[in-house]
Structures are given as structure tokens and as C-alpha cells.
Structure 1
Amino acid sequence: MDQNKKTILKNFSPIKVLIPVFLGLGATAWLFLKDDGLDDLKGITQANIWWLAAALLVLLIRDVGYMYRIRSLTDKFLSWRNSLDVIMLWEFASAITPSVVGGSTIATILLHKEGIPLGKSLAYVMVTAVLDNMFFILAAPIALLATQGEVFPTFGFGGSDLSALKTAFYISYFLIAIYTFIMIYALFVRPRAFKWILLKLTSLKLFRKWRVNAFQHGNEIVWASQQLKGKDFNYWARAIISTIFVWCARYFLLNCLIAAFTDVTLSEHLLIISRNLIFWIVMLVAITPGGAGIVEMAFPSFFGLFLGGFSNIVVVLYRLITYYPYLVLGSIVLPRWIAKVFGRQAVEDEVKV
């Protein structure tokens, strides 16, 4: 069996889908049961339908933004339809893998099987990772300064818990920053020097068992760097602007859901966006697939201040809109995509896994 096919079938197996579903549903059930809050579900009838519609519209706009970005990065090699398949399956992969792992390996295979050479596929996936991380790196200090410390929640946190939260945030932030600047150096400054450093490090006895992987990763960096040479200002402007757009839409969706249940002032909207940024940087180190369970458990502490008794309802709606649809859509798109790029026999294999 083709190695790419093996990787796809292994990572998209039914058990990988069921694990985050059970974790998420279990955490959601616990949120309601611990406070005897099943009656709170009736609060959905009090929601402002226009804000709920706005949340769905923002979600749609965000996904179109992702499609535009990947299509622009590939110099329009991908059609809009192929871009939709790639984004749906990329989101699917992210939903069933831990946030710290992400769906980058799968994304590279997706692009490669759409007919893009491996070197270019690697380059495009690496660039999206760098752009996303740079958004976090630049936006987080702005959020901290703009909110004057209010960005960290105190609702549901004691002194030691709040200190642990801040520590987790700063560790996550600096790890992201270090990784991103290393990637920028490797991709855009000295790719061959980066490969040489990897090989030198893995020549040491302590790291020798990773030498083959280091050699392969070094080659991938060199290939990716070569594909990105000569890109003009418009190329990078489209990539940067679309990245800012999709992440702002991603965050504002939660504002719409909160505003559907309670009145939110402009300053509170800005605080929610800022707190959401901090929330997701901490969640990037979540060890569960798609942050399932962890997101549901942490959500009330971050946003309960704005929601009161509606907190559990909003976290359920938030995950129903932003997480579970990609599990469903990915499961629908996957067999057809596998049939397209690997042939019909692969679909039978995928069903058996």
C-alpha cells in the first residue's frame, strides 16, 4: 500500500474520530451535571437569533478565508473546489489530533495528492504555520497591553491557579516564538546552515538515534526554502492579510455567541477577543485531540464572567459550531477524496480500518 495512503487511513481511522467525540461529550455532560444545570438548556430559547446567525456567517466567512489563503499560497494551482476539500480535511485532521501535534503532516499529503510537488507542499504548510504563529506572537502583547492585565481570567481561579495559568501562557508563548523564529531562519535565511546544525546535533551520542529524522527534516527545509524564493510583495501581502482576516473571524465568532445571550459593550467585545487569544495560546499545548474535553472544562473560567448562567449553553453551541461539524464533514469528504486521489480500492480499505 502507498505510504501516503497508509498515513491517511491511519490518522483518519474511526477510532480517532470517536475519541474526541466521547471526550467532548463527557466534559460537556459533566459541566451540566455538576451544577444540576440541565434546566439551563432551556435558556437557548432566550438567544438572539440574529447574533446566532451572525456566528454562522462568520464561520462561513472564516472558512472561505482559509480557502482563499491556501489557493493564493499555491498560486491558484488549487481550484476553489479542491481548496474546499483540502481545508475541510485539514480541519478534520486538526480536530482528531492533539493541538500540540496539529495536522501539518496530513496537510502536506493532502496538497501533494492534489498534484502539488512535495517540496512545494511542504513549503506551503510550513508557511501557514509560520504565519499563524506570527499572528499569535504579535497579537498577544497587544492584547496584554490593551486590557491592562484583565486578559487573564480571575473567575473560577484562586491565587495559585491564576499563577499557574499565567505560567502556562508564558511558557506556551515563548515556545511558539522560539519555534517560529527558528523556522523563519531555516526557511528564509540559511536553510542549509539549519540542516548542518541538525546533523551536527544528532552526531552527538545523546541525539544519535534521531539522525535519520534530522537528515530528512533538513532536506525538507531546503526543498521548501527553494520553492519560496522569488515570491513577490503581492504574494506575501495576500498571505499575511488573509491570515489576519481568518484569525480575527475565528475569534469574533465567540463574540457573536456571547452577544446572543447577554448585552456586550464595545470594551467587553475587545476583552473577549483578547481573552480568546490567550485561551487558545494556552490550549495549543492541549494533549487531547482538538483540545476535546479541555476546552469545555476551561471555557467557563475564561468567559463565565460575561455569561453567568448561560456559560454552559454557549460552550456547547461553540463546540457544536466550530468543532463537531468538521468531524462530520471530514468523514463525508474523506471517502470521496480518497477515491479521487488513490482510487476506489482505497475507499474499501478506509471503510475497513
Structure 2
Amino acid sequence: MNKIEKWILISLLISLVSGLVVVIFTFDSTTLSALMQIKPSYILAAACVHALSYVVWGMRTRSLCKALGFDISYAKACEIVTSSTLAASITPSSLGGEPVRVHLLHEENMPLGRATAVVLGERILDGIFILTLAPLSIYVIRGVLKDSYFDAMFIFAELVLIFILFLTLYAVWKPEPTKKVVYIIVRKLAPLLGKKTDSALEKVILRVDSEFEHFHDSISILLNEGRLGLAIGIFQTMAFWFVDFSMLYVVLLGLNQHPDPFIVFASQVIVMVLLVIPATPGSSGVAEFAGTTAFSLFIPSSLLGIAVIAWRAFTFYMNLFVGGFVSFRILKDTDFIKNFLK
């Protein structure tokens, strides 16, 4: 069994066991009758909504690339973002998706530093958007939820997210201290990677310095000449999360539930903050239990397990399938992913 298959199996196993536990503890006499009344058209619509989020995501990537002077097609941008969902689904906190997108953008003749600026810029935009919504979401949720354990998990996850965001912004605005830290890491790791000669190590240092300059210059371009592209990227970030959060609401309509849309959206913001905790590959297990806690505010217990399974079917299993198909069948980029997961 290769590394990719191993990580996929681990992610699936954790997710399936967690989902089964949730279903067992929420199953009652009314669950079967509720299942018989599911509207398949809405479930199909939910899949289409999630697929639309890939398109919006690809549009955002293209906008940020264009702001840096690199024009890639909408189709290629969508291929890149969907391909990265495979690695994201089998790595903690979905962090594996970023290196894959950087690599694929670099394959389109984009300098690594600028490709990193695009991908990291997306992560920063997502982080700022979620952090901005978090206080409002807490206000909406805490009116109906009194759970000190949940509050503690949320506060810890939000602190981690703020810390990561702060480090990222510091690296953007203060590149010199960041480069010094990277140089130290490179010097420590280079001998382990076979870079044992001074000349080889010097080449690595020069490459790191060059890519840092590309990255810093790219951020400067985004904040100056590329402000229009950045503004479009900000708008597309809001559109992306609106589309992605709408998927759960469509699923609930298919289950004949009509909850308050604000609570549905707020609960997913809370869950997204909790998923920052790098506990398991693809946040398997954490997502199921966090979703069960948050979604119990507006979903009857008899349908809660089914709703969580349906939500994960799109946000996890669909990502695995689509990401794997695009990676292996269209882009045929298995070597990089295998090397990354070693």
C-alpha cells in the first residue's frame, strides 16, 4: 500500500467510525420515517452547490494570479484548486492543499514566490473572513448553546487561528527576520536531505532568498498595482464561503427542515474555527463531532446523524473523489503528492 492509499484509508476510517457513532447515538424511531421523506432533488442540488464552490474558488485563484501579471484560464484554475482537495482531505487542518496548489501554479510557469503569494493570500483572506464572522457567530450561537467544553474548544481553536494569521502577516511585512529563521531551518535540514557541501547549501540559501523576494514583491504588487485584483479576490472569498455554507441549508431542505439561515451559517463558522485544530487527517472525527454539537442547535436529534453524514459526504468524501480524479486522471500529478506525503 503506497503512502497516498494509507492516508486516504486512515482518513476514511476515522470519518466512517465517527459518523457511525454519531448515527447510532442520534437514531430513534422517527429516523426511518424521516429518511423515507427525503427529497432527492435537494440532495442533488446540494452536490451542485458544493461543485459551484470549486468554480468560485478557481475564479478567485485566477483573479489573484492575474493581479500578479499571470493569466491562467478558468478551467486550469478550477483544475488546480480541485486537485488540491485530495491532499487537503488527508492532512491535518487541510494544510496539504497549499503546497499542491503552489506546485501546480509553478508548473504554469509562475515563480514559486508569486505562486506562494497567491496561495498564502487565499489562506489569509479566508482567515480574516472567518475571524471577522466569528464574534457575530458566537453571539448568534451562545444565545441557544450553553456548553463550557464547546466554548473551551472554540477559544483554543480561535487563538491558534489568530496566532497563525499573525505569523503570516508578520512574515509578509517583515521579510528579513523571517528569512533568517528560514535560513536556520534550511541549514539544519540540508544535511539530512543530502545537501552536505557548502556550495550546494549556498545554492539552497540563494534559492530561498530569491523566492522570498518574489513572494514579498508579489504581496507588494497585490497591495498596490494589483489592488483591483485583490478587491475582486476579497469579493470572491465572501462569495465562496456563502456558496459553501449554503450547501448545508440545501441539504436540510431536502430533509424537510427549515431552520433559520443565520444559525446555519453561524454554526458552520464555529465549526470552521474548530477544524483549525490539527488533530487528524482531513479533520476526520473532529469535523463529525464538532458538526454534531453545533448543528444540534437547529436539527432534530432524529435527523442529526443523517444531516452530519450528508454534510461530510460533500465536504469530505466528494473532495476526496473529485480531488483524486482531477489529480490522477486529468493532471496526472501523482509524483508530487506522493513525495509530499512521504
Q: Into which bin does the TM-score normalised by the smaller protein fall?
A: 0.7 to 0.9
What is aligned with 1:326? 319
CA offset at residue 273 of structure 1? 0.9
Candidates 234, 254, 260, aligned match of 2:254:
260
CA offset at residue 193 of structure 1? 4.2
Contact 2:62 2:72 in 1 (8 A): yes
CA deviations on 1:163-221 (whole Å, 9 max, x unpaired) are 2321221222122223213322322x33224334x379x69xxxx957999x7877654
CA offset at residue 226 of structure 1? 1.3
Number of aligned residues: 320
Contact 1:21 1:292 in 2 (8 A): yes
What is aligned with 1:4? none
What is aligned with 1:163? 148
What is aligned with 2:163? 178
AA in 1 matched with 2:274? V
Candidates 251, 256, 272, aligned match of 2:264:
272
What is aligned with 1:297? 289
Measured in 1, the distance between the counterparts of 2:318 and 2:18 equals 18
1:133 aligns with 2:127: yes
Measured in 1, the distance between the counterparts of 2:323 and 2:284 equals 17
Q: Secondary structure at the match of 2:113?
A: helix
Measured in 1, the distance between the counterparts of 2:256 and 2:209 equals 51
Structure-to-structure mapping, 1:239-254, within 5 angstroms? 239-254=233-248
Measured in 1, the distance between the counterparts of 2:166 and 2:228 equals 23
RMSD over aligned Cα atoms: 3.4
Change (3 A) 1:48 1:163: same
Identity over aligned pairs, percent: 22
1:110 aligns with 2:104: yes
Q: Secondary structure at the match of 2:298?
A: helix
What is aligned with 1:287? 279
AA in 2 matched with 1:194? T
Structure-to-structure mapping, 1:205-224, within 5 angstroms? 209=188, 220-224=211-215
Q: TM-score, normalised by structure 1?
A: 0.78
CA offset at residue 285 of structure 1? 0.5
CA offset at residue 17 of structure 1? 1.5
Measured in 1, the distance between the counterparts of 2:257 and 2:322 equals 33
Structure-to-structure mapping, 1:8-27, within 5 angstroms? 13-27=4-18
Change (3 A) 1:332 1:232: closer
What is aligned with 2:329? 336
Q: Secondary structure at the match of 1:229?
A: helix
CA offset at residue 316 of structure 1? 1.4
What is aligned with 1:60? 51
Candidates 18, 21, 44, aligned match of 1:30:
21
Candidates 102, 106, 113, aligned match of 1:119:
113
Gaps of 5+ in 1: 1-9, 155-161
CA deviations on 1:80-104 (whole Å, 9 max, x unpaired) are 2211221111111111111163422
Change (3 A) 1:234 1:191: same
Contact 1:261 1:307 in 2 (8 A): no
Candidates 229, 234, 241, aligned match of 1:235:
229
Contact 1:43 1:313 in 2 (8 A): no
Contact 2:94 2:283 in 1 (8 A): no
Measured in 2, the distance between the counterparts of 1:325 and 1:269 equals 23
CA deviations on 1:118-148 (whole Å, 9 max, x unpaired) are 1211111111111111111211122234x27
Change (3 A) 1:286 1:183: closer
Measured in 2, the distance between the counterparts of 1:244 and 1:92 equals 23
Structure 1's consecutive aligned runs of 4 or more residues displaced over 6 angstroms after TM superposition are 210-213, 215-219
Contact 2:141 2:263 in 1 (8 A): no
Contact 1:94 1:103 in 2 (8 A): yes
1:314 aligns with 2:307: yes
What is aligned with 1:143? 137
Contact 2:63 2:230 in 1 (8 A): no
Contact 1:67 1:87 in 2 (8 A): yes
